[in-house]
Structure 1
């Protein structure tokens, strides 16, 4: 299978990079990096204007559309896989359809693409031209169809098995990356409130995130906020280093699961996540993961599992096994998608 993979290929912790690795394991892949050149003030301004409701297109700073056209002219692809096609023009997809009508054009995004802050003018104009659209947001299918999406399917999140796996950690790594209860990710008011609640009730919580978190650095002695986020191998190691890894869902996207929902168990970590139907379908409660629906329950679960090491470790191991048994890896998930596309 010959695949043209279009996305953002910067950084080892980037899930788009991980999906590209899976594509490479499944076929012969050419790549176009939409963000080969960094975004600038012009890009940020255009994005701001679009979010205010103006039909302003984002500047294609890396000339990704031209690069796609050049590759399409030279090669015959079975699949053009576009990962969150913010910058891909409708005219580019139209050219692919006319020049190579047998090629299937696939859209994938880990974000809620029914919300304007995740869209772009290019994306909205291109949406009806994708042959297949895959989303990990089960609740946006009808909204996406109203925007022009055809052949849209829900898929669960997945993890990269060559990156998210249980590491053997040194005592120094456990000290530098772990603790009793931890969270790795961006600031949101609700998740901050939950962790502050834990801290005020005697639970030691450590946060790797930087940015907005730093404004709350000295709020409580039990809430330790680090200056930086975690990237690369340290990101995966932290889930193994913490006794309990918290999994919060992004409220602005109305998430029911997130990439961490798979990454934490895949790394051999004990996951304590917000209770949703989708989480419950991924991991059995009390056997493969633990869940909470309120700050009071979150505190209760933290206290319990910090005192029950063997049970906590057993659940973490079962969660890891579930990842493998149920085929939650990128390779298996993307192969299933491509099998659907190619029939």
Structure 2
């Protein structure tokens, strides 16, 4: 199978778009085209603000990128063109692909809520109907995306990268440098900040890797440790392995019911303590493979309990890691299921 993978591959080995391409490379022969903007970034930001904030139908055209794609599909035949959040890929480029390779499937993927304007672009909206399939990790957007023009919308769960997200054997120095009792890795948001401050105020030691607005809360409580930056590369995975409990909050602006951390935390060998949702409870058995909470008060009670019951905590942590493997939550297993569904349509 020949695949052309188009996506943003910059940002180091923590990049989930890169992880999905690693999975594609295990399944076939893959060529890459990087959509990372190297020029005109300031102009794009202006266009994007006008599009998102003022809802103007204004487009940013990445001409060089689209020319490169058209040139590549003239050079080589593909079974699949995999486009990861193709907000710069134009409709005429997708039409051109179909003209020169009518048996090639164009599959789009995004881990973000593409029904929301802050994740879209005018170029994306015009090109969307020309995808053969579009894959979303947001179950509640399936019908909306279908109404936007692509008739074949597939929902998949979030995934972890098995070659990257796994338990690490850590030295005591690494545990001290990265870990702690309760940890969170991620950007500041009001709701998650409130929950973390509630824990710290009531005596739970919490370490936050995130920087940015989190720094406003540095030294607020003796047991709240705010770090000056986020974690990337292997340090992200090592920190998860080094936390007794890893907190998983959902982005409210995306209406998330699960997130990549839902899979990454247990895959790295940490206890997943996450907001209770229907999808979380379908993915992991509560208090057997993960622990879920619905309020700050319940979160505090659960943290106290599992910090003081190490054997039970370790049992749930290991069961969560096994569930990731058994249920096929990895990128490779997820993409295999997608291809099994869609490649049978190639005539």
1:222 offset after TM fit, Å?
2.1
Matched residue of 2:59: which SS? coil
User: Could you say which residue in structure 2 is the equivalent of 1:265?
Assistant: 266
User: Could you say which residue in structure 2 is the equivalent of 1:55?
Assistant: 57
User: Could you say which residue in structure 2 is the equivalent of 1:158?
Assistant: 159
1:148 offset after TM fit, Å?
1.1
Matched residue of 2:19: which SS? helix
Q: CA–CA distance in 2 between the matches of 1:24 and 1:108?
A: 16
- Unpaired runs of 5+ residues, structure 1, are none
User: Could you say which residue in structure 1 is the equivalent of 2:289?
Assistant: 288
- Judge conservation of contact 1:86–1:119 (CA < 8 Å) in 2: yes
Query: TM-score by structure 2 length?
Result: 0.97
Q: CA–CA distance in 2 between the matches of 1:221 and 1:112?
A: 37
- Judge conservation of contact 1:42–1:59 (CA < 8 Å) in 2: no
Q: CA–CA distance in 1 between the matches of 2:198 and 2:266?
A: 25
- Judge conservation of contact 1:50–1:121 (CA < 8 Å) in 2: yes
User: Could you say which residue in structure 2 is the equivalent of 1:205?
Assistant: 206
Matched residue of 2:304: which SS? helix
Query: TM-score by structure 1 length?
Result: 0.98
1:341 offset after TM fit, Å?
1.5
Q: CA–CA distance in 1 between the matches of 2:221 and 2:61?
A: 43
User: Could you say which residue in structure 1 is the equivalent of 2:311?
Assistant: 310
Aligned residues: 342
Matched residue of 2:6: which SS? strand
- Judge conservation of contact 1:8–1:35 (CA < 8 Å) in 2: yes
Aligned-residue CA RMSD (Å): 1.1
CA separation of 1:160 and 1:208: change in aligned 2, threshold 3 A: same
User: Could you say which residue in structure 2 is the equivalent of 1:138?
Assistant: 139
CA separation of 1:286 and 1:215: change in aligned 2, threshold 3 A: same
1:168 offset after TM fit, Å?
0.3
Superposition map of 1:249-264 within 5 A:
249-264=250-265
User: Could you say which residue in structure 2 is the equivalent of 1:45?
Assistant: 46
1:161-187 deviation digits (Å, cap 9, x = unpaired) = 000001101101111111111000111
Superposition map of 1:45-194 within 5 A:
45-51=46-52, 52-60=54-62, 63-194=64-195
Q: CA–CA distance in 2 between the matches of 1:254 and 1:99?
A: 39
Which stretches of structure 1, 4 residues or more, deviate above 3 A after TM superposition? none
1:64-106 deviation digits (Å, cap 9, x = unpaired) = 2111101100111000000000100000001011111100000
Matched residue of 2:245: which SS? strand
Matched residue of 1:243: which SS? strand
Matched residue of 1:183: which SS? strand
Q: CA–CA distance in 2 between the matches of 1:211 and 1:46?
A: 25
Q: CA–CA distance in 2 between the matches of 1:187 and 1:171?
A: 28
Q: CA–CA distance in 1 between the matches of 2:193 and 2:308?
A: 24
